[in-house]
Amino acid sequence: MNAIISASDLAKDLVGARPPVLLDVRWQLTAAKAAGEPPFDGRAAYEAGHLPGAVYVDLERELASAPGKAGRHPLPDLAHFGTAMRRAGVSSGTPVVVYDGGQGWAAARAWWLLRWTGHPDVRVLDGGLPSWEGALDTSVPAPAEGDFVPEPGAGLLDADAAAALARSGVLLDARAGERYRGEVEPIDPVAGHIPGAVSAPTTENVGADGRFLPAGELRARFEGLGVTEGSRVGVYCGSGVSAAHEVLALAAAGLPAELYVGSWSEWSSDPDRPVAVGPDPQ
């Protein structure tokens, strides 16, 4: 099953025999706070206009738990996550399509969580809301309660497993290159990367329109970074959000990968963990 869906295919599915549940996960990093501007309000954006029938999901409150030593966006409490998904109408036998404002990071986080906890049919709208050509709605739906119960599976890395994978397989760092090299660090306490990790910015998975590159181009990109058929691959970023987008890109290319959710925000909070700087993985 393809992990992404085009706006035109989604429009067809919505009037088909098995219309998907739609989740709106608009979210942005709140760097604007430093400039004295109010943080992005995903719910307000949703209420101003969303895909008809879509239910808003809050990344900070429903797709993550409170920030701390486990990182800025640790895994959510699974009971809380399950309640949020059922409230949104998610059932195990119903397809789900997730979208955000176009960047794809937040939608990918929801996609990864649902897939990791056992939902068999989840896709991300390629290009997010800007790709949708139909009418938007401002009413807030009240879907029937779903029956989805999250059951964690494979594909999750902790800090020690990520460190080991950097030696035995391929660990991709999805942050911007300058953060990987340790030239700047706008958010976390230490600059640099996990020793052995390979720089693979998430932004290079998409074209100028914000949509994913074709599967063949994505596969060629990852092969150029050392990913081969049968490689064990892990991905991390700053806090396990943009890295989910890279896991999604790998899935679209037919390459399975694991996610280190704590990512650099967890790794860098422990002064005993080693840090590499510069363009070389080591």
Dist. CA 260–CA 168, nearest whole Å = 15
Q: How confident is the model at residue 5, as a pLDDT?
A: 98
Confidence of residue 58 (pLDDT cuts 50, 70, 90): very high
Phi-psi region of 155 (alpha: psi -120 to 50; beta: other; left: phi over 0): left
226-257, pLDDT tens digit by residue?
A: 999 889 999 999 999 999 999 999 999 999 99
**Is 237 marked active-site?**
yes
Alpha-carbon radius of gyration of the chain: 18
Q: Considering only the C-alpha atoms of the chain, give the largest distance between any 2 of them, rounded to a whole number of Å.
A: 55
Dist. CA 74–CA 261, nearest whole Å = 6
3-class SS at 242?
A: helix
17-38, pLDDT tens digit by residue?
A: 999 999 999 998 765 455 566 7
120-176, pLDDT tens digit by residue?
A: 999 999 999 999 999 999 999 999 999 999 999 999 999 999 999 999 999 999 999
Question: 237, 244, 252, 261: which one is catalytic?
Answer: 237
Confidence of residue 40 (pLDDT cuts 50, 70, 90): confident
CB 133 within 8 Å of CB 12:
no
Q: Which two three-digit tokens encode residue 176?
A: 């911007």
Give the contacts of 7 (CB within 8 A, at least 6 positions apart): 125, 126, 127, 131, 132, 133
